[in-house]
Amino acid sequence: MPSVGLGTWLSLKDEMKTAVRSALDSGYRHIDTAYTYKNEDAIGEELQEYLKNGKVKREDLFIVTKLGLIHMEPKQVRRSIEMSLKKLQLDYVDLYLIHWPVTLEYDGDDENLLPLTEDGKFKTAEKSDLLETWKAMEELVDLGLTKSIGVSNFNISQVERICTIAKHKPVECNIYWPQNELFEACKKLGVTITSYASFGSPGRPGEYKEAEEPKPMEDPIIQRIAKKHGKTPAQVHE
């Protein structure tokens, strides 16, 4: 897995194509997307252009996408990755993740990605079982639809629970919550951790923010360390 990748959340189609093009030209080979981001088709178009022109080889790319929250029911898992692969114009992805340990109600509309209740809250499914979802994920590896599988936004108890039944073994961590115990637990379980939103995702929509949340790039300690070493806050935080 390349150590640096391109995150694609909140990217519009035209912006996404430009970003992927710039990233590939700069040497990026790790691209992270998700069914819920609604930009897999734009990424797929750019990837195909580079693959067909011989600018990159498929084996040199590391493409990550994620299971839709409305597709957490085991019988939906394979269909979900097949929809993602069709949009990405790929035969397989290198890593497929359970995006969140939350199951939203599926109403038959694959475009209703984040169904809401009448009072504006996420409409969660009445029944869900992460272990059964994980077993369905493992079948994708056996089918060759993904090289590997993992989880995103899971806590330590959820990771450990999955590892009790996992054939293919798969968390929030940041400067304010370093999660040392989680790192140690994942190390013992043979689980690799990958970060996202490393700069705190300051541009995300308001519904994903808290009023008084800290801003890593503006943190006085981060800025002081950056100044001392002649670096930017982003370079220090990374």
**What is the CATH classification number for the domain harbouring 144?**
3.20.20.100
Is residue 38 in some structural domain?
Answer: yes
**Catalytic residue positions?**
37
Please give the pLDDT value at position 30: 96
First-to-last C-alpha distance (Å) of the chain: 17
Domain that holds residue 110: 5-196
Is residue 17 in some structural domain?
Answer: yes
Please give the pLDDT value at position 84: 98
Domain count across the chain: 1
CB distance 148 to 95 below 8 Å: yes
Please give the pLDDT value at position 111: 94
Is residue 47 in some structural domain?
Answer: yes
Is residue 203 in some structural domain?
Answer: no
Per residue of the chain (238 residues), what is the pLDDT tens digit? Answer: 777 899 898 887 888 999 999 999 999 999 999 999 999 999 999 999 999 999 999 999 999 999 999 999 999 999 999 999 999 999 999 999 999 999 999 999 999 999 999 888 899 998 889 999 999 999 999 999 999 999 988 888 898 898 888 887 665 556 766 667 777 877 777 777 766 666 666 666 665 556 677 778 888 888 888 888 888 887 776 5
Sign of CA dihedral 96, 102, 104, 108: positive
Distance of alpha carbon 37 from its chain centroid, rounded?
A: 10
- Dig out the tokens for 154 from the structure: 């899971």
Residues 6+ apart with CB under 8 A from 24: 46, 50, 55, 56
Please give the pLDDT value at position 4: 84
Is residue 224 in some structural domain?
Answer: no
Is residue 225 in some structural domain?
Answer: no
Please give the pLDDT value at position 219: 83
Is residue 204 in some structural domain?
Answer: no
Please give the pLDDT value at position 170: 61
Is residue 230 in some structural domain?
Answer: no
Please give the pLDDT value at position 53: 94
What global pTM score does this model have? 0.73
